[in-house]
Amino acid sequence: MSALPSPRTMYKALSRRDSAYEGIFYTAVKTTGIFCRPTCKARTPLAKNIEFFPTTASALAAGYRACKRCKPLDQPGTPPAWLTKLRTQVDRNPALRLRDTDLRAMHLEPATARRQFKRHYGMTFHAYARARRVGTAFQTLRTGKPKMTQLQSAAGYESESGFREACESLLGSSNPNHTNILPARWLTTPLGPMLALADDQGLHALEYIDRRGLERQLLRLRKSLQATILPTDHPHLDAIEKEMTLYFEGKSFLGSPSLREGAGGWVPDLFIAPKRANNAANLASRSFPIPLTPKGSDFQHQVWNQLRQIPLGTTISYGQLAKRIHRPTASRAVARANGDNFLAIVIPCHRVIGSDGSPAGYGGGIWRKLWLLEHEKKMLS
């Protein structure tokens, strides 16, 4: 899996129904709320009405439903009728959390149901339901505050109460008059959509919308800040959107700005062109200039602070990172702290690899990690 081709390339492939792009991208139509394979025989939509996604999970998490014509979720082979029925039940109410006892009540063996669902749809039914729940709620973040009935219909819910429950369980009360607001923004990137959350304190989260654990992290943030997540403007969201755009375009070292001495002390020099950089060693103590407010333990903050010291375009091992925080035997704990980082890219946990040089793990997926490392090397060339 690699980053998405250019929108122009993907649209041409879609227009030709080019089978060479099967599995490379999925096409989502804003006006219908449905996503398809690039080879779908449905009429080709206008380019302005299309979004592209690298995975089915990211399309689901963006609030789209699978096309019934080209069936982008289906793997080779026809799913049995009972499996289709199970998926239909999840579609009708993704907020419903099916447990083993629920499956047995439906005369289904839980282990078989999980195995067959993953085989035919590429993910477990729990992962599918989670993506649908997240996607349902994220529709409100992407579109502002449209009529609830419109969102409900687009998400495939039969009842407004079920739809509202799915939204409120993730984002908070729909009547936030007496609560804090945590501003949110949807960011489009070459690696798929990302969600940014920030307030006056700084950036609280920046993650891929299909990141496993994002739903749980949002619930923690809401609880700790006693806030409702809503799509609204904030200067820090403006800043991170600009910084991420420049980072992905490779036009500056916004991922590692230089520091210059100013009247108030050391401040970031944000717009150094790559060709003016002295060498990689000078990039060591640089980071995105936006204030970051990650929630974690003292140990996690030690790890995250050290991550921000890793030079752009370079990598270190988990063991080396453990030594840098003076905990040489804590490689596994360091790896867990990396996995608990929900400020992707700005706290560059993607720059930590296995001692054998393997990419090891990454919350956003190994393919994204490899793309980021290659992208940063190009920024230095």
Selecting among 40, 70, 167, 349, the annotated active-site residue is 349
| 349 noted as active-site residue | yes
Give the closest residue to 293 by CA, choosing from 226, 200, 179. Answer: 200
Structural element, H or E, at residue 268 = strand 265-269
At 25, phi and psi to the nearest 5? -150, 165
110-121 vs 125-143: helix crossing angle, rounded to 10: 60
Give the closest residue to 287 by CA, choosing from 206, 362, 366. Answer: 206
d(CA 338, CA 328): 16
Three-state DSSP state, 20:
helix
The amino acid at 229? I
Token output for 93 = 């109410």
182 with 227: CB under 8 angstroms?
Answer: yes
Distance of CA 271 to CAs 38, 72, 254, 261, Å? 38, 42, 7, 15
Annotated catalytic residues are: 349
